[in-house]
Amino acid sequence: MEYEFGLAALTFIFLLASLFCYSWIVLLGNLKTGTEPPLPPGPYGLPILGYLPFLKNNLHHQFTQLSRKYGPIYRLWLGSKLYVVVSSPSLIKQIVRDHDSIFANRDPPVSALIATGGYDIVWTANGPYWRDMRKLFVREMMTNTNLQASHVFRTEEVRKLIGNLDTKIGSPVQIGELIFLTELHVLTSLLWGGEMDPTERSRLGVEFRVHISKLVDLFGKPNVSDFFPVLAKFDFQGIAKETKAVVVEVERILDCIIDAKLKIMAAGGGMEGRKDFVGILLELKDKQLGETSTFGLTQIKAILMDIVAGGSDTTATMVEWVMTELLHNPSIMQKVQQEVTNVVGANNVVEESHVSKLHYLEAVVKETFRLHPPLPLLVQRYPSESCTIGEHTIPKGSRVFLNMWSIHMDPQVWENPLQFRPERFLNDNSEKFDFIGNNVEYLPFGSGRRVCPGIPLAEKMVMYLLATLVHTYEWGLPEGHKIDLSEKFGIVMRKETPLIAVPYHK
């Protein structure tokens, strides 16, 4: 994620267009009452631009360094917006538990608003509409019953992955790309099911991959319009224009899928126990969504966008990180392979039903999420009213980053935090540290009402894919290659260099 805007060239524009905005910021920044706690401390920036010119690529590292100077809660201006960074478990608990309703809003980037129209789950502000959409998503799509009904799609795509890898024995493969395609095929299968012609579904899946990858990149691309909303109508970087073009292509594919599904349903076609998500959502079309609105095609497209954009990239990235750590720690790889063999059997194929018994593999996944959290700063929060956290005021309308990477690396929280030790998540700690945010020292997917609602599906896929990969093959590195653990900050924290590995028959 690059934070270089060509600031020298844009400074003159900022000076003219943001002068009034800056005067207002200065007034608010100095405004205090006699009883209100002060704003958090923080670094000084430049007029108009704030701290923007000083940001580096790996924000999670830079924000951690700033916390050592200014404390576990500090503020900084980025353009016309005030940001607060929190990196203390006790303070984060106040935000995600004690004052969860106040900090449950989002400040979506321009690209996200264009992509979803403000009707999705990830970026929509806390309120009746968001609550109704989330309830619908969890109730209709993330229940054990519906996930079990769709397990055949996941099984089919994992079998295809193995068939593909069998043709590449002894040859280098790019793990992240391979898993991304598999996960995307799983998601598209879950979305529009088995009634669609396989060739057509594969073609649309490839198109989807191209457009969704662009969309995810646009969500994470720094945009002048996000830091200076007064300049949004000018779209200096062309991000809004580019996002609109991608959305047109994504909606074209979604319309094709929805139309085909409607025709099948109109003809009386059933899913015969294989429940796909588009069918579930279309059954609810035009029905009342809570007490706020009707559930229509606009909402269906927004929720489908969330599923594909949020599911494919994150899952592929985390599987790549786990495989990287296993190759970097051969003794741990051996333990994982032995556990899977004991549970599955040496000559048997991994089934999704085996996953719940793979406790050591689960600990490996959790330890990877600790060392390489998928969302190192989580998704920024947007308080609906001013609130006191610790001894400082977080003003209404500011943006709040929760630096979970800093906490995961804190030696006061974790013993030997730089070491890869899955054992820390075994035994009693297995239940203590879960993926749904019950322990504020470990929040890879957030906590509270804005915790990621897709965790049940993501957990199944990550575990199932990893168990299959380590059980079916031995893995090595190409000659001359070494493991690279460097990170690349973004909306999802990827590896700096993709993992290239070689599968061998056992």
Query: Residue 31 has what pLDDT?
Result: 44
Structure tokens at 146: 């519906």
> If you ran DSSP here, which 8-state letter would residue 46 be given?
B
Cβ atoms within 10 Å, residue 122: 21
Query: Residue 270 has what pLDDT?
Result: 54
Helices in 269-358 by DSSP H: which ranges?
277-283, 297-328, 330-344
Helices in 51-99 by DSSP H: which ranges?
59-70, 89-93
Q: Which residues contact 125 (CB under 8 A, 6 or more apart)?
A: 105, 106, 382
Alpha-carbon Rg of the chain, whole angstroms? 23
Half-sphere exposure of 277 (CA within 13 A, CB side): 27
d(CA 285, CA 169): 47
Query: Residue 398 has what pLDDT?
Result: 96
Query: Residue 483 has what pLDDT?
Result: 95
Cβ atoms within 10 Å, residue 106: 18
> If you ran DSSP here, which 8-state letter would residue 2 be given?
-
Half-sphere exposure of 412 (CA within 13 A, CB side): 7
Query: Residue 14 has what pLDDT?
Result: 46
In the three-class reduction of DSSP (H, G, I as helix; E, B as strand; rest coil), residue 174 is classed as strand
d(CA 383, CA 379): 13
d(CA 318, CA 376): 13
pLDDT tens over the chain, length 506 residues: 444 444 433 444 444 444 444 434 443 444 444 578 999 999 999 999 999 999 998 999 999 999 999 999 999 999 999 999 999 999 999 999 999 999 999 999 999 999 988 888 999 989 888 988 888 888 877 888 878 877 888 999 999 999 999 999 999 999 998 998 888 888 877 777 655 666 776 677 678 778 887 888 888 888 999 999 999 999 999 999 999 999 999 898 888 888 878 887 777 765 454 567 788 788 888 877 766 667 888 888 888 888 887 778 888 999 999 999 999 999 999 999 999 999 999 999 999 999 999 999 999 999 999 999 999 999 999 999 999 999 999 999 999 999 999 999 999 999 999 999 999 999 877 778 988 899 999 999 999 999 988 888 899 999 999 999 999 999 999 999 999 999 988 778 889 999 999 999 98
Domains and CATH numbers, the chain: 7-505 (1.10.630.10)
CA-based angle 355:356:357, to the nearest 5? 90
Structure tokens at 171: 């040859």
- In the numeric block, the tokens 């993926």 are attached to 435
Report the C-alpha dihedral over residues 39, 41, 44, 45, rounded to 10 degrees.
-60
d(CA 342, CA 130): 44
Query: Residue 163 has what pLDDT?
Result: 95
Q: Are strands 293-294 and 288-289 parallel, antiparallel or unpaired?
A: antiparallel
Give pTM, 2 decimals.
0.88
Amino acid at 196: M
Q: Are strands 81-86 and 173-174 parallel, antiparallel or unpaired?
A: unpaired
Query: Looking at the DSSP assignment, which residues form a beta bridge with residue 173?
Result: 501
193, 276 contact by CB (below 8 A): yes
Q: Which residues contact 284 (CB under 8 A, 6 or more apart)?
A: 136, 140, 295
Cβ atoms within 10 Å, residue 271: 16
Structure tokens at 448: 């509270």
Query: Residue 28 has what pLDDT?
Result: 47
Query: Residue 79 has what pLDDT?
Result: 95
The full DSSP string for 362-427 is HHHHHHHHHHS-SSTT-S-BB-SS-EEETTEEE-TT-EEEE-HHHHHT-TTTSSSTTS--GGGGST
Amino acid at 256: C
Query: Residue 10 has what pLDDT?
Result: 45
Q: Are strands 73-78 and 473-476 parallel, antiparallel or unpaired?
A: unpaired
Q: H or E stretch including 214? A: helix 198-220
| Residue-wise burial string across 243-263, b where 16 or more C-beta atoms lie within 10 A, e elsewhere | beebbebbbebbeebbebbee
